[in-house]
Amino acid sequence: MAAATQTHPDPPPGASPAFIPLEANPELMTSLLHRLGLSSALQVHDVYSISEPELLAFIPRPALALLLVFPVSAVYESQRMAEDAPLPAYAGKGPGEPVVWFRQTIRNACGLMGLLHAVSNGPAREYIESGSDLDKLIKEAVPLAPAERSKLLEQTSSLASAHHEAASQGDTAAPDAQDDIDLHYVCFVKTGDGTLWELDGRRKGPLARGKLDENEDVLSEKALLWGPLKFLEREGGDMRFSCVALAGSLD
């Protein structure tokens, strides 16, 4: 992953728990989710292009979640702070919450946060095996306020163990947990009422980006315009973007 900049998204070293950054590797992400308790009926897929239909056609549909990895630039930070400034701090909790959102307090855990958002919301949640570590975590998290949820994540040893194993096995040498990494993950999911949500533990809360039709998923033209393409347009020529999608297994 890239070197540090003044826009590093996480708390400074030593200020919070820290994880080894997770590589955007579908095989490792799938292994991590299956170990935590996601059904083998789902897996993470590389998204080779968000503008070429013939490449999108390789991904089973509907896609249940989309994770975008992007560089945290000064341009992005300026836009993020401007959009967040007028918003109240999110206080959602309980079964009536439109989405399950986790505030990120673990340094370099944005990949894990993206995966948790992907499986905790929308149809993917139905694929979590009863009694699994993931099932127990989400059931414990739902009644809690955001600050308490963050503490729960920090204190869940099964989550830390599974993440450490996956993050240590990437195609490139794993960075240190305290390293400065200027790439960040954001997750997009579609909930039952058709809302496309942008879920990022660094924001003030979940962000509703618009309504999708019944036959549209997170890789539909409208969802891509509201999601990844918006990020790409803002950053211009920076090519350090990648996407993975959670969808049906090819096995």
Which residues are designated catalytic? 110, 184
Strand order in the sheet with 242-248: 42-47, 242-248, 65-71, 183-190, 195-199, 207-211
Tokens representing 84 are 């967040």
Question: CA angle, 145 as apex, 147 and 118 as ends, to 5°?
Answer: 90
Q: What is the DSSP letter of 127?
A: G
Q: Provide the 10 A C-beta neighbour count for residue 227.
A: 24
Tell me the C-alpha to C-alpha distance, in Å, between residue 89 and each of 43, 107, 206. Answer: 33, 20, 10
> Is residue 249 within 8 Å of 222, Cβ to Cβ?
no
Q: What is the DSSP letter of 156?
A: -
Positions of E strands within 90-249: 183-190, 195-199, 207-211, 242-248
User: How far is residue 233's CA from residue 226's CA, in Å, rounded to a whole number?
Assistant: 11
